[in-house]
Each structure stands twice: as C-alpha cells, then as structure tokens.
Amino acid sequence: QVQLVESGGGLVQAGGSLRLSCAASGRTFSRYAMGWFRQAPGKEREFVAAIGWSGSDTYYADGVKGRFTISRDNAKNAVYLQTNNLKPEDTGVYFCGAYVLAGYGRYDKRGYDFWGQGTQVTVSS
C-alpha cells in the first residue's frame, strides 16, 4: 500500500505559479506511475497530468499543456506539479494518486488509488 500527502497549494493571482508536492511512502513508490487530478466545486475529479514509473513519459490534459510540468524524484519518494501562468479556471483541490488499475487507462481516475487528502489551489482574477 502507498500513502500519499499533497502540499504546496495556496492563494495566487492569475499569472502566478505554484509548485505542488506529493510525498509518498518509500520502498514501493517507484513501482507506480503517478497522476495529478483536480476537483472544482460541484464538478467531478478530472485528469491533469501523469508520469510513468521512470519519469521519462509524461502526459497532460489539453487545458494545461505548456503551463504545467509533472516530474518525480524516486530517490526522494516524491512527485511534483509545477504550475505556471495560473488561470482562475485552474482553481480546485489537487490530488495525487497511484496508477494501479491499468484497465481504465492513465486518464481515468478510476485507475488510480491511494489518494492523498488534496491541496487547495485558488487563483484570483
């Protein structure tokens, strides 16, 4: 079982940046692909970005391409999401999860488990 804790969220003006972190339990972390999802009030949790187990393969939702960067450091048991040029529509609770059910695909939240508690990102206009 993997245990995840997100941090780094906050209140930022449009155009600003935040670096989100996801701290994971050791020993088994490097075996999993990881993903970031976000959930706005009244909406379902949606895919933001994913990264393969080695860190060489990355994937992004269309709305964040060119602005967000996902990375991981297996030696530190951590995955990161650098968010640049933030927009009000980026507001939401950001969660990280481990990709454990390949049958749903890397863009489907149903394929992920061991979600952290989430970190709030609020972008003002």
* pLDDT one-digit tens code per residue, 3-55: 999 999 999 999 999 999 999 986 777 889 999 999 999 999 999 999 998 89
Pairing verdict, β 10-13 and 119-124: parallel
Distance CA 37, CA 46 (A): 5
pLDDT at 102: 85
On the question of pLDDT at 61 being above 80, the answer is: yes
pLDDT digits (tens, 9 = 90+) for 79-109: 999 999 999 999 999 999 999 998 999 899 9
Q: Are 37 and 50 in contact (CB under 8 A)?
A: no
On the question of pLDDT at 56 being above 80, the answer is: yes
